[in-house]
Chains A and B, each alone.
Chain A
Amino acid sequence: MEHIELFFKSIFIDNMVFATFLGMCSYLAISKKVSTSVGMGAAVIFVLTVTVPLNWLLDQYILQEGALSWLGEEYASYDLSFLSFIMFIATIATMVQLVEIIVEKFSPSLYNSLGIFLPLIAVNCAILGGSLFMQSREIPSFGLAVTYGVGSGIGWFLAILAIAAIREKIRYSSVPPALRGLGITFIITGLMAIGFMSFGGMLTGGDEEKKDEPATEAKVEVKQELDKEKDAKVVAENTNINK
């Protein structure tokens, strides 16, 4: 149930393109034809599915505060989270390169259809964004990280497919000359984003409080011990504010 909820949430409610504007550059540049946008979308799903769980492991066992405790007692107090940007982007760049080599070796036909898009993906904000949101939303388990990666990939795929189909048709309409190309694409994307906002109440039944509860519970599970320290910090901050 948890998986299904997160899956649909990452496709529709937190859609990469329409809710957070991630990967807009390639979204705008590659959406002129449906066929190329399918290739790009597939590549994004693929890379997100691989990198989000991988970065989850990195985050959980190396970067988080206290994550190094599996090395021994003396490492328990290390907090390497400031390194997360550089570690995530290095993982992504390496993975993209690796995926490219493997695909080229074992499936030349897939390589030919994805080929041009794979190197572009290393600098696609959607990929790094997926990992950073995974970190900031504190996804509790490895399985859920996989679900989140696949879900957000499919969401991005849907978005680029939809805009490519619209852009193929819009060639036959009389758009004001100054709006042609980029301008109208922006405005259509805006209108589509308004449409996607209506998915917001899908899982919560319009009740915002229900949405918050599972999230906080999940957090508690992950950081049983760390929470005490954080609470102390929060209390300290609050007293400062009150002063």
Chain B
Amino acid sequence: MGILSKKDAGLIKDPLFDNNPITIQVLGICSALAITAELKASIVMAVSVMFVLGLGNVVISLMRNIIPSKIRIIVQLIVVATLVIIVDLVLKAFAYELSKTLSVFVGLIITNCIIMGRFEAFALGNGPWRSFLDGIGNALGYGLILVIVGFFRELLGSGTLLGFKVLGDPIEKTGLYAIGYENNGFMLLSPMALIVVGIIIWIQRSKNKSLIEEA
């Protein structure tokens, strides 16, 4: 971290754990849950959000003094929508199959609360470089949870990671399947995403008591 001052480094580090967008700020849950059945989709989603949030924060921060506050939501939505269209077209061009899996959830990055939340809370009041770091940091925190959930759901649900059969072949009964292991197909269904995130929150809060809610 030679280039970054201590304060700037905090912008990237804080959202990873103690101020994680998903588990602490409760932002951007929708997409986090819907596309995590496969690790690959989770990674692509995390990278897309990082691109949109990093660049969007810079653009909003550059324009922060000329946006009239009454119409700022529409301005923000237009900036995000433009960036998301770029992501969508790139995905359709280079990873068509994956863009089918993600379906409407690429479009839903527009209304991902992380993006609007960071624009409102940070980019409107800070310079472009710090806003960029904040965007990247929050996207990393978001991506971290996505990758953890995607990892467990794909590993336990279909016995693969990124499409590789890490636990052996279920049909030919090799690897773990030889001793009677079965895939838990339930992990692939959408409700399990909620429960996995719930468990992550549980573990995180029991490690860091200061995060526990009163009610």
Q: Write the residues of chain A forming the contact surface with B, with a CB cutoff of 8 angstroms.
A: 18-25, 28-29, 32, 82-86, 89-90, 93-94, 119, 122-125, 127-129, 132-133, 136, 171, 176-184, 186-187, 189-191, 193-194, 197
Contacts and interface: CB of A to CB of B under 8 A. Distances in A.
A36 B19 CA distance: 27
Given A122-B77, A132-B104, A183-B198, A82 B85 contact: yes
B191 A182 contact: no
Interface of B: 23, 26-31, 33-34, 73-74, 77-78, 81-82, 84-85, 88-89, 103-104, 107-108, 110-113, 116, 189-195, 197-199, 201-203, 205-206, 212-215
B120 to A, nearest CB: 10
By Cβ-Cβ distance, the 10 closest A-B pairs, closest first, are A181-B213, A186-B198, A190-B194, A193-B191, A178-B206, A178-B205, A24-B29, A132-B104, A190-B195, A187-B198
Contacts, number: 144
Q: Which of A124, A177, A197 has the most CB of B within 10 A?
A: A177
A93 B213 contact: no
12 contacts: A24-B29, A85-B81, A93-B74, A122-B73, A122-B77, A129-B111, A136-B104, A176-B206, A178-B201, A180-B214, A181-B215, A190-B195
B116 A123 contact: yes
Contacts of B201: 178-179, 182-183, 186
Contact of A136 (B28, B82, B103): B103
A34 B30 CA distance: 22
A128 B111 contact: yes
B191 A178 contact: no
Nearest to A119: B73
B30 A194 contact: no
B78 A21 contact: no
Q: Which of A22, A122, A186 has the most CB of B within 10 A?
A: A186
A21 B33 contact: yes
B69 to A, nearest CB: 13
A184 B214 CA distance: 13
B190 A193 contact: yes
A25 B85 contact: no
B150 to A, nearest CB: 15
B151 to A, nearest CB: 18
Nearest to A26: B113
Given A93-B74, A132-B104, A177-B212, A123 B198 contact: no
Contacts of B212: 177-178, 180
A127 B193 CA distance: 22
Given A25-B29, A184-B198, 13 more contacts: A21-B30, A25-B28, A25-B30, A86-B78, A89-B110, A122-B77, A125-B108, A133-B104, A178-B203, A179-B198, A182-B23, A186-B197, A186-B198
Nearest to A179: B202
Contacts of B85: 82-83, 85-86
B111 A186 contact: no
A138 to B, nearest CB: 13
Contacts of A127: 111
A84 B85 CA distance: 9
Contact of B190 (A21, A82, A89, A128): A21
A119 to B, nearest CB: 7
A87 to B, nearest CB: 9
Contacts of B195: 186-187, 190-191
A193 B194 contact: yes
A25 B113 contact: yes
Contact of A85 (B107, B197, B202, B215): B107
A183 B108 contact: no
B139 to A, nearest CB: 16
Q: Which of A24, A176, A184, A193 has the most CB of B within 10 A?
A: A24
